[in-house]
Amino acid sequence: MKLYSCLCTATAVLLAAAPAWGQAEEELKERIKKLEEKLEQISSQMDQSEKERVKKLEEKLEQISGQMEQSELEKLVQEAEAESKAPEEEVRPEEREFLWGALALQKLNPEISISGDIVAGIIIEGSKFYGGDGERGGMPLREVSVTAQHVLDPYSMFKGAINFTPWPDEGVDVEEFYITWFGIVPSLSFTVGRFRHNFGVLNRWHEHDLDQVNYPLAMNLVLGEDGLNQTGVSIKWFMPPLWAHANELTLEITDGESETLFAGEFFTVPTAMLHLKNYYDLSESTYLELGLTGMFGFNNQRGYLANEGDTELTDDDWRRTIAAGANLTIYWSPPQRAKYRSFTWRTEFYYVNMELPTDEKQDSWGFYSYIDYQLNARWYCGVRYDMARPTIRENDDLAWDVVPYITFWQSEFVYLRLEYSHGEEIPYFTPDGTLDRRKDNRVLLQIDFAAGPHKHEKY
């Protein structure tokens, strides 16, 4: 009974307390809700305060940075003013201590380069595999060239080129040997010695530096074999740009060594040549060069023994020679791919008027034109066309040839070239000394190499 009464009492107490527990739970939930709202309010207030503080700090930093820049600028201005007012100090040369002079002596030696030119070829004329005396197929060493140059002092330099020809006519030829002064007179340079004339473009180049195996047929037949190469004085004036982006005027006074155009003797009446070069930049990748040339001299001989066994000196009447030329070059190479792409179109025209011993006047002319395209970093291809009425001739028939070629540059020191040429009415001398004409077909393989600091240069 006691147990029963206790259970009943506990049950009654719990039933009486139930409403109070429910009320307490509601109050607790309400308090929690208010606390959460209070926390959100405090958090938003803190965010706003932090943003304002950051903004004030940024404004303060900008103000300080501006003050520092202004201070640095004022300091630089003050230093510049102080430097301008300060007295100039004497510049003393750099003091050097030479402990051993053996290495310095190397600077006294000229820069020497050696080049070799091998031309292998097959010559076909009808059923014959030769074109005359000295014009046969084979693989001869055409030329060995030794070139040297040296800056003598701040105002002059020396340059020389000596060629050794082992075949077909063995010999040594001093192609160039001259001294040039520069910087003495503004925009002027002076050259004295033996040099290749600035008649057009290709006449100035050495044969192993050409874009083809040989000099153009037109140049050989009008100006003479291998062009004009004489001894004298050259004055070059780098003109201010007048009608072009760059102008250059060259005056050359030389002897008349050319047997084709002049007396053919070392000591003779001087010849005079004037060449005007005009350079134009058409775009960042293209330029144009236009040149005009005029030359005057005499082709008579005076004061020489004309033939072996003569006892009296020749005293020919004066016979003048007038030569003229025009050259045009357009070169294209995109700056971004200059190592891999280029295109050259070059053409020259030659004209010669001579007074002959028969009191007649003879006109000769010729031209060549070629294109040269760079396929990639090492391969080039092109084609050249020549036509000429020769200066030395027995009739007025026109000689012409066409020359396609392809060149592989192994490096700047070595190149190989394969060339084919077909010519018509090419003049040549027979073994008995008479002048005749022939067709000419030949396939040539040129192997050219150079050792030294200057490699292959066109100038």
Residue 59 three-state SS: helix
- In a domain? residue 346: yes
- In a domain? residue 48: no
- In a domain? residue 105: no
- Cα–Cα distance for residue pair 300/265, rounded to 1 Å: 10
Share of the chain above pLDDT 70, in %: 82
- In a domain? residue 17: no
Tell me what pLDDT residue 422 has. Answer: 94
Beta strands at 286-298 and 141-153: parallel, antiparallel or unpaired:
unpaired
103-112, 126-135, 167-176, 415-424: range with lowest mean pLDDT: 126-135
The CATH number of the domain holding residue 442 is 2.40.160.10
- Cα–Cα distance for residue pair 204/190, rounded to 1 Å: 16
Q: How many helices and strands, by DSSP H and E, does the chain display?
A: 2, 18
Determine contact, residues 291/327, Cβ cutoff 8 Å: yes
pLDDT band at 74 (very low <50, low <70, confident <90, very high): confident
CB-based burial of residue 216 (10 Å sphere; 0-12 exposed, 13-18 middle, 19+ buried)? buried
Task: Decide if pLDDT at 65 tops 80.
Answer: no
What domain range is 316 assigned to?
A: 116-451
- In a domain? residue 330: yes
Averaged pLDDT for residues 293-321:
82
* Mean pLDDT over each residue of the chain, to the nearest integer: 85
List 440's β-bridge partners, or say none. Answer: 423
- In a domain? residue 27: no
The total domain count for the chain is: 1
What the block records as the tokens of 365 is 């002319």
> Which of 374, 376, 379, 372 shows the shortest CA–CA distance to 342?
374
Query: Where do the H-state alpha helices sit in 210-318?
Result: 217-222
Residue 63: Cβ within 10 Å count: 10
123-132, 155-164, 182-191, 244-253: range with lowest mean pLDDT: 123-132
- In a domain? residue 1: no
Determine contact, residues 229/205, Cβ cutoff 8 Å: no
Task: Decide if pLDDT at 187 tops 50.
Answer: yes
- In a domain? residue 83: no
List pLDDT tens digits, range 386-445.
999 999 998 889 999 999 999 999 999 999 999 999 999 999 888 787 888 888 899 999
Tell me what pLDDT residue 18 has. Answer: 46
